[in-house]
Amino acid sequence: MAPEPPLLTMSGITKSFPGVRALDGVDLHVQAGEVHCLLGQNGAGKSTLIKVLAGAHQPDDGTIVWRGDEVTLRSPIAAMRLGIATIYQELDLVEGLSVAENVYLGHESTSAGFVVRGRDARASTAALLKRLGHDEIDPARLVGDLSAAQQQIVSMARALSHEVRLIVMDEPSAALDPDEVDNLFRIVGDLTAAGVAVVYISHRLEEIRRIGDRVTVLKDGRAVAVGLPAKETPTREVIALMTGRNVEYVFPERPQPPGSGAAARPEPVLSVQGLARDGEFAPLDLELRPGEIVGLAGLVGSGRSEILETIFGARKPTSGQVRVDGRALRPGSVRAAVRAGLGLAPEERKAQALLMLESVTRNVSVSSMSRFSYGGWLDRAKELRAARDATRELSLRPDNPSVPVRTLSGGNQQKAVLARWLLRGCRVLLLDEPTRGVDVGARAELYTVIRRLADEGLAVLLVSSEVPEVLGLADRVLVLREGHVVHRAPARDLDEHRVLDLVLASGQHGPTHTEGPHSPATTEGSPAS
């Protein structure tokens, strides 16, 4: 094919939100007629990038060149007029309207300017659905009555109802059965054959191998690889790009392996026995001793966050027990867990942990108000002192706990959450993606803080989708795949390749055995090597 100018060239796209830089100079080049895959972990910046492309976000910096001309995408409508359509992961359909009405929503064909010509819309919708191989969907039906897969098709029909040159699909296969995925790929094939470009976002690498032409990998708001050949690049290399490090960190030194002598080993503070939730994760056994950091490694959907939230009581287990100091916690009770000394720093910090309108002090003190109150009456001076002490101990910046927490950077917001549990006197810290939304430069400090807390006697359970983070920070590692623990080992015995092998599991999707190949040998509390 003769070299032709790219359809779309995004260069140096930068976008910041209060507290975090979501995109930091990202480039994306898309050719007409290609399937360009966009890869990256949660929070890598994919959503922000496609929202910039859809006109929903305005970039702070960078240029967008569309068919040779520099353009500004002021609004979703502007993007649509140029021929850029986006199918979001959370479907943006109106359930109370019919299929045809949804497809032509916002650009209804009308007579006299406002009378919607329903029959025309239904006829052309039927044609679009036929083209998509789903003529069984009645254009007159309510979208709310359709299955998730059918809704996906409607979303696609809506994109095609415009003159499109580029379609962005955000994890389109997530809600689909295998044969529906085949149909999706056929449609993608038809589109590209007609010269339409597709930007395809997925976590599933095998899909990318099947239909992708080129791959761009995002990591921490940067493009770590641009335009790799989708078919030839080895899986391991792609995964390593996603989960690896583009900056080498110096992780804090581990103390001497705990239990150099069996007698010195402290009793476990947390023990989890047969904990399971149907459809999320298989029965799990786990012990955590003061001073140690245990890491859970696994890809998205491996049940990592679910495990943490269930231990914390935020989800009710189907079976199993959580014990602290040998005493069983009431299942599904956050309050019981907190009272027993557990603390959770959740993945979605803003949605699940922080009171964004409040000061750092109030965010820190919220879990230990009884300590500064007498019969419900707050001693605010004492509260402020305690919050100051706790945040100072974590070197939270700025060193003024009266500022609103929303003005803090991601890393310092995370410290505010940690300070909350420190102040509470928490003994087991559950960390879910502690560096998510934390600027790359601020991570090393957070690692030091976490290690220091462990050294001071806290037990830490760490979840991260970044393999080096787990390996660098944890003493022991549990590798998860699809809700099962497939391997347990001291972190020093593992390396990135080995973990990638385990999480990817040569055996594709199929149900994995409860016992990983290595698990019998490396059970809980195996003698330190």
Partner 1 sequence: MTQPASPARPVTEKSPPADGDKSPWRSRVARADVRTLSLLGVLAALVVIGGVTEPDAFLDTDNLQLILTQASVIGVVTVGMTFVIISGGIDLSVGAIVALASVWATTVATQDYGFAGILFTAVVVGLGCGLVNGLLIAYGGMVPFIATLAMLASGRGLALEITDGKTQMVTVDGVLKLGERDSYVLGIPPLVMVFAAVTAVGWLLLNRTTFGRRSVAVGGNAEAARLAGIDVRRQRLYLYLLSGLCCGIAAFLLIILSGSGQNTNGNLYELDAIAAAIIGGTLLSGGRGTITGSVLGVLIFTTITNIFALNNLETAVQQIAKGAIIVAAVLVQRRTATT
Distance CA 222, CA 83 (A): 26
**Site of tokens 């390593």:** 240
Rounded-to-integer distance, Cα 377 and Cα 161, Å: 62
Minimum distance from CB of 16 to partner 1 (Å)?
Answer: 4
| Cα separation, 489 vs 475, whole angstroms | 9
**331 touches partner 1 by CB under 8 A:** no
Residue 315 interacts with partner 1 (CB under 8 A): yes or no? no
Residue of 455, 498, 433 whose CA lies nearest to 41? 433
DSSP sequence for 283-327: EEEEEE-TT-EEEEE--TTSSHHHHHHHHTTSS--SEEEEEETTE
Select the residue interacting with partner 1 from 254, 289, 388, 436 (CB under 8 A): 436
- Is-contact 28 40, C-beta < 8 A? no
Confirm or reject binding of residue 420 to partner 1 (CB under 8 A).
Answer: yes
The window from 54-62, 165-173, 265-273, 385-393 that contacts partner 1 (CB under 8 A) reads: 54-62
Q: Any contact of residue 88 with partner 1 (CB under 8 A)?
A: no
Residues 465-494 that bind partner 1 (CB under 8 A): none
CA 234 to chain centre: 23
DSSP string, 66-135: ETTEEE---SHHHHHHHTEEEE-SS----TTSBHHHHHTTTS--EETTTEE-HHHHHHHHHHHHHHTT-T
Choices 39-47, 78-86, 97-105, 248-256 (CB under 8 A): range interacting with partner 1: 39-47
Q: Are 424 and 338 in contact (CB under 8 A)?
A: yes
Binding of partner 1 at residue 402 (CB under 8 A)?
yes
Residue 409 as a binder of partner 1 (CB under 8 A): the answer is yes
Phi, psi of 392 (to 5 degrees): -65, -40
Report the nearest approach of partner 1 to the CB of residue 377 (Å).
6
Residue 378 C-beta: closest distance to partner 1, Å: 5
Taking the complex as a whole, the smallest distance from the CB of residue 400 to partner 1 amounts, in Å, to: 6
Residue 339 in the binding site for partner 1 (CB under 8 A): yes
Among 400, 514, 523, 526, binds partner 1 (CB under 8 A): 400
CB of 344 to partner 1, least distance (A): 6
367 part of the interface to partner 1, by CB under 8 A:
yes
CB 336 within 8 A of CB 313: yes
Query: Of 193, 377, 506, 527, which one interacts with partner 1 (CB under 8 A)?
Result: 377
Length of the chain, please?
529
The verdict on 378 binding partner 1 (CB under 8 A) reads yes
In the complex, the smallest distance separating the C-beta of residue 386 from partner 1, rounded to whole angstroms, is 14
Among 5, 17, 456, 457, binds partner 1 (CB under 8 A): 17
Round to whole Å and give the CA distance between 219 and 42: 9
DSSP codes, 267-280 = PPSEEEEEEEETTT
Which listed range, 279-287, 347-355, 480-488, 508-516, lies at the site for partner 1 (CB under 8 A)? 347-355
CB of 100 to partner 1, least distance (A): 30
User: Applying CB under 8 A, which of residues 9, 273, 318, 352 lies at the interface with partner 1?
Assistant: 352
Helices in 456-490 by DSSP H: which ranges? 467-473
Q: Does 355 bind partner 1 (CB under 8 A)?
A: yes
Under a CB-based contact definition with an 8 Å cutoff, are residues 526 and 293 in contact?
no
Q: Can residue 373 be called a binding residue for partner 1 (CB under 8 A)?
A: yes
Please tell me whether residue 215 binds partner 1 under the rule CB under 8 A.
Answer: no
Show contacts with partner 1 in window 101-140 (CB under 8 A): none
Q: Which is nearer to partner 1, 376 or 527 (CB)?
A: 376
Which span (11-19, 202-210, 464-472, 475-483) binds partner 1, by CB under 8 A? 11-19
Place of tokens 């999480």: 503
The three-state secondary structure class of 207 is helix
Which spans of this chain sit near partner 1 (rule: CB under 8 A)? Answer: 16-22, 42-43, 47-48, 57-58, 60, 312, 314, 334-335, 337-339, 344, 346, 348, 350-359, 362, 365-367, 369-370, 373, 376-378, 380, 397-400, 402-404, 406-407, 409-410, 412, 420, 424, 436-437, 439
